[in-house]
Amino acid sequence: MPDSESEEEFWQSIEKIFDELLSRALKQYGPEGAGNKLGEVLRSAEMSVVKKVVPRAIAKHADPQIALELTKLIERQPDAIGALREVGVSIANSLRPIAGQRFTKLVSVILSRQLDPQGIACATRGEIKRRVSDGLLISGPDGEQDLKPDIDIVVYDKATEKVIAIVSCKTTLAERIMQTVRWKEAIANIPSQYRDVKVFLVTAWDTFDNPTQRNRARTLDGAYACNEDIVEDDRIKKFDKLAPDIIALRDRMIDRRTRLF
């Protein structure tokens, strides 16, 4: 990373890459169709992000001479491979959270475009999310006290602040899907006000071809893929089905309240 580029400027440049890609996807496919393309959007950002991350990693971890002549030094000086390994570790460690955090933001932005006109909000931070996160702490079978799903997005009715669903966003199912599954299996132990809250998974790249992963995902209330290379069923669907499913859930909640009175 050039000396003239500050940490803040680096992250602003990362945000710009994703903002521009999302803007193009929304313009081309609309919010209804862009969700199915999020995996593609995330992948298309890879090289642009790598071009920003690699110079930054070299500047942080490599000797200035190695940074300038890395390839030649590897040939002349085998010990330079150790420095290159540190650069590689830094790149990997930077790319993972960048992909995960930005994926959650992309999902939230597209969902908000569809849900906000219906009076439904998506929260990735703030008091409502904190309240839900604290309320969903339960003990697992092994006595674990902080067992809960990865709560990336809380979806709630804006008029009543009633939580409709929590959404866990994972670029791949190699990430901690079992924590979400285990929490869903223990749902009877959570406070009563949260027992009807649905647990959804959104993934960028997985196609649920692996039977074990598919079966695990089906224990949730719904799993949604941001790519078009999946076989849909009643629980596993393309991303464009998520907003309509959430709206239908909220409408059923309103209908139940109306019948009670």
Q: Which tens digits make up the pLDDT trace of 96-116?
A: 788 888 999 999 999 999 999
Is the same domain home to 124 and 106?
A: no
* Number of domains observed in the structure of the chain: 2
137 and 78 in a common domain: no
Q: Is residue 2 part of a domain?
A: no
Residue 237 pLDDT exceeds 90: yes
Same domain, 200 and 227: yes
SS3 223: strand
Q: Are residues 187 and 154 in the same domain?
A: yes
Q: What percent of the chain has pLDDT over 90?
A: 37
Percentage of the chain lying above the pLDDT 70 cut: 77
pLDDT tens digits for 157-180? Answer: 999 989 999 999 988 876 566 766
Could you give the CA distance from residue 239 to residue 218 in angstroms, rounded to a whole number? Answer: 15
Distance CA 28, CA 107 (A): 17
pTM for the structure as a whole: 0.75
The residues, any chain, with a CB within 8 Å of residue 164's CB and separated by 6 or more, are 120, 155, 156, 157, 197, 198, 246, 249, 250, 253
Same domain, residue pair 146 and 46 = no
Q: What is the dihedral of CA 186, 191, 193, 194, to 10 degrees?
A: -30
Buried residues in 174-200 as b, exposed as e (16+ CB within 10 A)? ebebebbbbbbebeeebeeeeeebbbb
Are residues 203 and 165 part of one domain?
yes
| pLDDT higher than 80, residue 193 | no
Same structural domain, 136 and 53: no
Distances (CA, A) of 206 to 74, 75, 217: 37, 39, 11
Mean pLDDT to the nearest integer, 205-221: 87
112-129 pLDDT, tens digit per residue, is 999 999 999 999 998 988
Please give the residue range of the domain that contains residue 86: 7-111
The two tokens of residue 137 are 């702490």
Q: Are residues 190 and 107 located together in one domain of the fold?
A: no
Q: Tell me if 217 sits within 8 A of 237, measured CB to CB.
A: no
**Would you say 153 and 244 are in contact if contact means Cβ atoms under 8 Å apart?**
no
- The pLDDT of residue 196 is 81
pLDDT on residue 73: 64
24 domain residue, yes or no: yes
The pLDDT tens digits of the residues spanning 64-81 come to: 876 777 657 656 767 766
Whether residues 146 and 253 fall in one domain: yes
CA angle 88-9-94, nearest 5°?
25
Both 55 and 140 in one domain: the answer is no
Burial class (CB in 10 A: 0-12, 13-18, 19+), 153: buried
